[in-house]
Amino acid sequence: MAHMGRRILISALAVLMAVPAGAGEVVHRTEYKVALGILTIARATFVTRIEDDKSYKVSGDISSAGLADLVTNISAKTSVDGVLRGDRLQASRYYLYYKSGKRARTYEVRYNNGNITSTTVKPPRRPPANWVDVPAGDLRSVLDPISGLIFPADSNPCSQRLPIYDGEMRMDLVLSPRGSQDFSTEGFSGKALVCSVRFVPKSGYKKGRSDIVYLSKSNRMEIWFAKADAANVYAPVYVRIPTQYGPVTITAVKYSAS
């Protein structure tokens, strides 16, 4: 999978685990299996900490597994800090460290009331030809890749247009309803809402890049939302991402409070 596709995958993993909970300090742990077709290619563990209903911190570790680990070692660490505003999570800082083989890069984004105040990428990337720059307007009223897919239980997750910024790329995820499915894993058993997802690249990418073009033209991307027992919210438990190499699926294998 190309670099952009891998970063989109990491962002998808990140949004899966941010589950707000009730009063007092709460710790929520989630574990995921990532598969390309029937082959496991990565595993991930995320921990969400909510303190006194005022602030939250989410941290995650992702590593390659199975045959993918024999080809190249891929690992990532990601985190987000923020505050609870009403029934939504609002980030103040998003961080991603990504390593593939010997190459490593970090992304750090600072937010203020949903607007980007700074972005730091180390080492800096030299924009290639046909790069679509990110205009100032694309950095206002945006969501981070971790907190952006958590919704109050009285909302409709599958009727949303989500403006996401991951430190480099600005994208919209356009969700629409596709019914419901039974879903069971450790810590949850019940119905999940199935949303079709349309990927709309806005800026911060190379125009004409094959993996982005492929994903933007696909109508087979899905996210499943389930109600978290620890709070009255919807959070994702399953993601299906079409790629040129076959479908990548991200499935929660544990979804419960610690």
Question: Omega before 242 cis (within 30°)?
Answer: no
Whole-angstrom distance, CA of residue 169 vs CA of residue 165: 6
- What pLDDT, in 10s, does the model give residues 111-127? 999 999 999 999 998 88
- Read off the pLDDT of residues 194-205 as tens digits, 9 standing for 90 and up: 999 999 999 999
Q: How far apart are CA 156 and CA 180, in angstroms?
A: 13
- Which tens digit of pLDDT belongs to each residue from 81-97? 998 776 677 899 999 99
User: What are the structural domain ranges in the chain?
Assistant: 3-257
DSSP string, 144-163: -TTGGG-EETTS-TTS-EEE
Question: What is the arithmetic mean of pLDDT over 43-50?
Answer: 81
Q: What is the percent of the chain where pLDDT is above 90? A: 38
* Closest by Cα among 193, 204, 128, 210 to 166: 204
Q: Which helix (H) or strand (E) holds 91?
A: strand 88-100
How does DSSP classify residue 125? Answer: P
What is the rounded CA–CA span in Å between residue 165 and residue 216?
A: 16
Q: What is the pLDDT of residue 252?
A: 87
Give the Cα separation of 75 and 71 in Å (integer).
13
